[in-house]
Chain A
Amino acid sequence: MRGDPDNGVPVAIARVRGAFCPQCPGSDTAGEMFERSERFMRRAAVLSETGLREVLARACQKTRLMAPVRRGKTSFDFEWIDDPDAVQMDYVRTVLPPKKAFLPVREMLLEFARGAQQAAAPLLDDAPFVLFGVHPCDLTAINQLDWAMGKRHGVADPHYVARRSAALIVGIDCMPDEYCFCTSVDSSDAREGADLFLTPIDAGYLVEVLTDRGEQPLAESGDGRDATPEEEAAPRAHGAEKKRRVTTRIESELEALPDLLERRYGAEVFEETAARCYSCGTCTNVCPTCFCFDVGDEVDLLLASGTRERRYDSCQFLDFAVVAGGHNFRGERVDRVRHRWFRKFVYLLREHGAPFCVGCGRCSKFCTAEIGLVDVLNSVLAEAKEEAVR
C-alpha cells in the first residue's frame, strides 16, 4: 500500500480510509486543526541562556522534549532528550528534519489480532511535548505537511493530527551555509506554526510569543522580562543579515516554475543527473516536506496477532511506482529523478500554491553524489531561457 497520492489510486484509498474511520479524531473536520500563529509577534520577552535551559528542563520533566543534538563531528539530529544541556542551540541543519516528531520514520499505526471480527482502532500518540529549535525553513515545512496530512484530501491523518496537536513548537533563527536557499522559496523569516520563536541577542534570547499556548512556558519561568524596543528590533535585523548571507538562489520567480519545467520535460540535465544518481532515496528521506510512506504488517512470534507499521518511502526507489500486475510507471531512473523536481515545483506548487521545498538544503548537502537541487533547477531554467531566445 503506497501513500503517494500522485500515483492515482491512493487518493481514492485516502478517501475510503476516511469514510471507514469514524474513530479518527479530526478526520471529519480536517479544517483548522491547530492554533495558528501570526507572522508577527503578539509580544516579546527576553530570556537568558540559563533561563532558557530552565524552560527546557521543565519541558523534560513535565512533558517530553524533542530538540537538536550533536550526532557526529559535523552532524546534528532531532532526538527525544532528557538532558536540557544536550540541546544544540546553534546548528545549521539536522540530518532528518523535525517532521519526525509528527511523522516518525517508523510508526505503529495499529495492533490487530488474526481472525478478529472487529476493526482495529488506530494507535494515537497525543501526549504533549515540546519541539524545540525549529528553523524558519522547517517551520514552513511543518505548515506544508499540515496541509498535506490534514486538509489536502478532506480527510486528516489521525496519527499525524494527534502528534501535531500535542506539540508546542519553539522556533529559533539561524544563519545559512552554502546549501541554504530559503530566500528563494520565501521561508527565511517564517513564524507560522511556532508558538514561540527565539532570536539570539546579547542578553540571551529575544522570545517572540506567537500563541496563547506559547505564554505558558514563559509564565512558569521567573527569568523572562519584557524586551526593550531595541531588543524587539533584533529579529528583523537578524533576518536581514541572514538574507544577505544566502548565496544559493533559484533563478526564477516561483510562479513561473511549473510552466517552465513542463516546457523542459525532456531537459538534458535530468538525463545527466540520472547518470549520477544512485536512487538511494536520501534526498527525499531527509526532505522536510516529503511525506510518502509505505505500510506493512508484522505478526508476533506466536503468529496470533500483529502490528501495522508505517515507514518513510521514496519516489526515488526502483519499486516505488510498481502497481498491481507488476507495471512500473517510473522504472527508468531518469523518470524518478525528474519526478522529484516536478513534484516539488510543478504538481504540488500548482495544487498548494507554494513549492514543496523550503530551501533547507538537506537534499543537496546529504547527497553523496553531490547532486544539487538548485543546480539542476537552474540548469533547466537556463535551457528554457535559451530556447525562448532561439
Chain B
Amino acid sequence: MSAKPRVAFFDFACCEGCQLTVLSIGEPLIEVLKHVDIVSWREAMSERSDEFDIAFVEGSINRESDVPRLKRIREKAKLVVALGSCAALGGPHVSANRFEPSDLLKLAYGEKAGNYEAGEVRPISAEIEVDLPIYGCPIDANEFVSVLKHLLLGRPYRVPNEAVCYECKLNGYECVFDKGMVCLGPVTRCGCNAICTSRGHRCFGCRGLVDDPNVNAARDVLEEHGYSLDEIIGMFQIYSQRAPRVQQLAEAAAEPQEKRSKGSEPWRFGSTT
C-alpha cells in the first residue's frame, strides 16, 4: 500500500447519480481527496488501475455476467463501500422483481430482446461482503465526506439508524401528516436531514427501513388514512422490496381476502373512558 490509500469507483445497474453527487461536492471533496489517490473512476477520469484499497461500488446486480466483475473488485479491495441505495438495497429497479425478466426484456427491446440479459435485481451484498453501506437515492454528499474521513482515520462509522421523523422534527418542519398527506418517514432510515419533507414532499423511503421497523404499525396508520394494502405495499416496494417485513406483508396480501392476516390490529385510544 502506498502512502495514500488508493480509491476506486465502480458502477453496475444504476443511474450514476450517486457518483454525480460525489463529483458535485466541489471544494470540500478536493480537500479531503488530498489524503487519497483516486486510481479508477470511469465516470470522472480516463486513467484506470486494478490496484486499489477502497472500492466505492454504485449500482445493483441484475445480470449474471456482472457477478465475476463484482467478485474481482471484492478480492482486490480491502474495503468495499456500497455507494447509494441501488448497491445497498437494490434500488428502485427492484420493482422489476415482480415480473418475469423475459417479459420485461420483450417489453423494452421487442425483437432484440435476445441480445440482452436480465435477472433478479439485488444489492451487491447478495453476492459479496460489504464493509459499509451509504444509503440514499441519491446519497447525501455530507455523509459521503464523513464516511471517507472515518475510513481515513480508521474510525468506525455509525450508519444512522433513526427514523426520518427524527431529523424532520429537529428541523421543526410541519409534519407531512398535518398537511393531509402520508409519509414513510416514521419507518425510513434518516441521514438525509429530511431533505424531501423540507421541500414539501413526503418521504419515499429511499434510504430503506430502519433496523427493526414497525411495518405493521405503518400499514395500520396508512390504512386509516385511506390507502389500500396493495397501495401501501407499492409504496414500500419502491426501495424496500427486499426487506423481510415488506416481503411478509406482500405474502400476506397475496392470500385470499378472507385469509389475510393482520400483523397487528389497529388499536384505538380513548376506549377506557
Give A residues with C-beta under 8 Å from B.
Answer: 71-75, 77-79, 94-96, 105-106, 272-273, 275-282, 285-286, 296, 298-299, 301-303, 311-312, 314, 317-319, 333, 366, 368-372, 375-376, 378-379, 382
* A79–B212 CA distance with the chains assembled, in angstroms: 34
Whether a CB of chain A sits under 8 angstroms from the CB of B163 is yes
* A382–B270 CA distance with the chains assembled, in angstroms: 12
Total cross-chain contacts (CB, 8 A)? 138
Interface size on B, residues (CB 8 A): 49
B166 is contacted by which of A71, A280, A376 (Cβ under 8 Å)? A280
**CB-nearest residue of chain A to B149:** A299
Set of chain B residues within 8 Å of A279, measured between Cβ atoms: 163, 210, 212, 214
Q: Which 10 A-B pairs have the closest CB atoms?
A: A72-B174, A77-B172, A301-B31, A75-B174, A375-B269, A280-B163, A280-B165, A275-B264, A278-B186, A105-B170
* A382–B273 CA distance with the chains assembled, in angstroms: 9
B217 is contacted by which of A366, A369, A376, A378 (Cβ under 8 Å)? A369
B264 is contacted by which of A276, A299, A303, A317 (Cβ under 8 Å)? A276
B166 touches A285 (CB 8 A): yes
Q: What sequence of 0s and 1s flags, for each residue 151-167 of chain B, a beta carbon within 8 Å of any chain A beta carbon?
A: 01100001001110110
Give B residues with C-beta under 8 Å from A.
Answer: 28, 31-32, 34-35, 145-146, 149, 152-153, 158, 161-163, 165-166, 169-175, 177-179, 183, 185-187, 210-214, 216-218, 220-221, 264-267, 269-273
B149 touches A75 (CB 8 A): no
* A75–B171 CA distance with the chains assembled, in angstroms: 12
B170 touches A285 (CB 8 A): yes
* A312–B149 CA distance with the chains assembled, in angstroms: 23
**CB-nearest residue of chain A to B169:** A285
Instruction: For residue B200, give the distance in angstroms from its CB to the closest CB of chain A.
Output: 10
B269 touches A278 (CB 8 A): no
Whether A96 touches B178, Cβ cut-off 8 Å, given contacts A276-B217, A317-B162, A333-B214, is no
Between A and B, 26 residue pairs with Cβ closer than 8 Å are A72-B173, A72-B178, A74-B178, A77-B172, A79-B172, A95-B172, A95-B175, A275-B214, A275-B267, A276-B266, A276-B267, A277-B217, A278-B187, A278-B217, A279-B163, A279-B212, A280-B166, A282-B166, A302-B31, A317-B166, A318-B210, A318-B211, A333-B214, A368-B177, A369-B217, A372-B269
* A161–B188 CA distance with the chains assembled, in angstroms: 35
B269 touches A370 (CB 8 A): yes
Instruction: For residue B250, give the distance in angstroms from its CB to the closest CB of chain A.
Output: 20
* A280–B28 CA distance with the chains assembled, in angstroms: 32
